Amino acid sequence: MTILSAHPIDPVVRERVMDELAAIEARHDVRVLFACESGSRGWGFASPDSDYDVRFVYVHRLDWYLRVEPQRDVIELPISDELDIAGWELRKALQLLRRSNPTLLEWLDSPVVYRADDEAAAALRALALAFFSERKGRWHYLMMARKNFRGYLQGDTVRLKKYLYVLRPLLAARWIDAGRGRPPMRFAELAETMVTDDALRAEINRLLAIKMAAGEAEHGPRFPLIHAFIERELATEQAPQDFNKPEGDDAALDRLLYRMAISH
């Protein structure tokens, strides 16, 4: 059974995003190297009223990196209508990549890309593979699943979207445990690979159909098979195995930063 998935991007909103990115470049004298969807539209289960969570990586001109005092390394726009736009400066992004930051790794795997410098995007994705830490990734996803389950799914009536905010990280942790490496961003790919029970798959699809048709705040009764699966998985959690260590070359991060800064 194929897991439902959709990445709806309104063409009018896409044009607005492109205009905003161009305006950011002009206002801050930066170059956007990569911009994508990071939230539910990237995961593949957006509601009709879901925001557009636009995230980007940018680089300054070389002289910005030669200042004595550290400068602000994020650009965040006030949330406007359904647009939520924020970005990280390249050096900050590379520091986080070196630490195998799961959020940045998901950006680089997003199925919805608005802008991408070919050289920078290819280099960032290659470095993401080299620096991916199975142990850090597993811990991040497992803690996210536990936190959302305990915080939002304890009553008889629950906020339905929170099931997906538990299932997605839980399946990502299991993906790592299975030795598959860095988990994919798309929820459908995770579920189709890691969920083998047909009845559970069918219930996940029913949940997805509701989530993709209803509002973000939709509440409803528990989904019994999904709930039992989550409880069982969290209850049987075991200590992690000895995962492989990342094999990234720190000098490669410096080289990419230098190339992008002098080319701006």
Q: pLDDT tens digit string along 53-87?
A: 999 999 999 999 999 998 999 999 998 889 999 99
Helices (H), the chain: 11-28, 40-43, 90-98, 102-108, 118-131, 134-152, 161-177, 187-194, 198-213, 224-235, 250-262
Q: What is the reported pLDDT for 58?
A: 98
For 24-51, what is each residue's pLDDT tens digit? 999 999 999 999 999 999 999 999 999 9
Question: What does the buried/exposed string (b/e) look like for 56-73 if buried means 16 or more CB atoms within 10 Å of the residue's CB?
Answer: bbbbbeeebbeeeeeeeb
The number of beta carbons lying within 10 Å of the beta carbon of residue 237 is 12
Residue 242 pLDDT grade (very low, low, confident, very high; cuts 50, 70, 90): confident
Are 196 and 247 in contact by the 8 Å Cβ rule? The answer is: no
Does this model's pTM top 0.85? My answer is yes
Q: Are 85 and 20 in contact (CB under 8 A)?
A: yes
Q: Please state, in angstroms and rounded to a whole number, the distance separating the CA atoms of residues 11 and 259.
A: 33
Domain spanning 11-131: which CATH class is it, in words?
alpha beta
* pLDDT score of 2: 94
* Residue 241 reports pLDDT greater than 70: no
Q: What are phi and psi of 140, to 5 degrees?
A: -60, -50
How much is the average pLDDT of 235-257?
86
220 - beta bridge partners?
Answer: 158
Read off the pLDDT of residues 88-142 as tens digits, 9 standing for 90 and up.
Answer: 999 999 999 999 999 999 999 999 999 999 999 999 999 999 999 999 999 999 9
* Crossing angle (nearest 10°) for helices 224-235 and 198-213: 110
241: region left, alpha or beta (phi > 0 left; psi from -120 to 50 alpha): beta
